[in-house]
Chain A
Amino acid sequence: MKARARPRLRLTDAMLAGTVGLRARRLRAVFSALGICIGVAAIVGVLGVTQSSEADLLAQIDRLGTNLLTVEKGQGIGGSEGPLPLTAPSMIGVLPGVQRVSSTATLPGGVYRSDLVPTFETGAIGLRTTDPSLLQTLNGRLLAGTFLNAATARYPVAVLGYGAAQALGVATLDDPVRIWTHGRWLTVAGILAPVQLAPEIDRSVLVGLDFAASDLGFDGFPTRLYVRADPERVVAISQVLGRTTNPENPDQVRVARPSDALAARLAVQSSGTSLFVGLGAVALLVGGVGVANVMVISVLERRSEIGLRRALGATRLHVAVQFLSESLLLSTLGGAAGIGTGVALTAALAIQQGWNVLVPAVAVLGGLVAATAIGAVAGLYPALRAARMAPTDALRTV
């Protein structure tokens, strides 16, 4: 009696067998992989875009610092700023942990590009007086020219906030520029870059305290203080700022930490991300159902191929492995295409927004693993069904 010869399928052949069905029906393979592709692309894209923009936001917060506090009078009617006690800046300045205090005050009246502009066309630009330390307190930057200093603070000289410069149509200071307010000309000394932590400065034209007092009727009461505090003691200082500013009516003082708004944006973004990742996961699941569907149909359609392979000596395991590897291949290809698409989307959006392109490795690996896992789950039932089919049933023609 001869030795019993076992059937044997080489690994490479087993993998090739998994591609037969895909090669025979390319369009169907593409469409069924598309579902997985979209799901993975959504997940990778959302995580990538979020990471990129969060990194940008974090960098912004880092750059601006979280230790800036603002002090103003409790919200007045119409949101306008009200006068704070005269002594507030010096009282705050001596608090331990306070690094810098700058006082500013809004002034009435509009600012115009020239004396020919009708007075009602204020362009929503405010006039504000400030001490020269404001630039440092805000970590601000100048786009052109210089900031106010002890000398120019006494003269009709203005520095424009970024938005104010845009509204007034002042782009450069290469030629001397003058603007019109309170019936007189001011010379523009500088233009500020956008100040994210103090948007009200963006919309303001800034003049020195001395000039405001001597020529614009400024009464000396600050309306808004900017405080830079020791980063370790920001919270403690913010708690005592109210009482320090106005010991008699501390509840009339509003203390804010502008960086909180940015942090809140981060939090909002994160919660949005989980929603979109959830949607991506649903898309992935639907894609998996699609693959399972296609595999079930494929098994039914290819009954005779299963019968033939059994006649050629394939074991049940060989048949199962063939269909399982086909499903795995389908979903892994879909997943890889999805990662490519997701990364491309992230890169396109990030470059357009001027962010660094960041795609979390977790998203890429997770996407691939999820796609493969879904392929395995989706292919398991069809593969078992194919394997369990009796050769005679498989060969019987309908």
Chain B
Amino acid sequence: MEDLLFYLFAFVVIGSASVVVLSKNIMYSAFSLLFTFFGVAGLYVLLFADFVALTQIMVYIGGILVLIIFGVLLTTKITGVDIKSGTTGKVQLITASVVVVIIAISLILLFTNVEWVNQEFVQPNTTIDSIGFAFMTKYLLPFEIAAVLLLIALVGATLIARRK
């Protein structure tokens, strides 16, 4: 069952991510990004990271994706006109293929390196407890700084985007 779910989610993630990158219509890209985010959230659940999965849905789909769609709407003059083939320069194609080859090689390396200790997954009941505890104790300092990071993003975004 879990195997089946894994393959299903993997298929959804890779399929929709390819649509994001290859689609000629930007709205199709934005909406298939939704499926990618959901698929990744499903994979988190399979990895027993329930709280991360929840946050993934709330932050990525509830926040970032909505922002992106707003961005699309604000920057297209008329919906549907914004169709453009992804023409690429030669330089980009060459760099892209070099990167793809490098990552493919590392993939093969991963495949051939199957000396994994077949350790059973540790299955906690819920991760929220331990995560909340860790945030308030061991990772308190980074947690506070992350708040500063979000503040500066807010200030910066309003500074750049305001009309005046």
A binds B: no
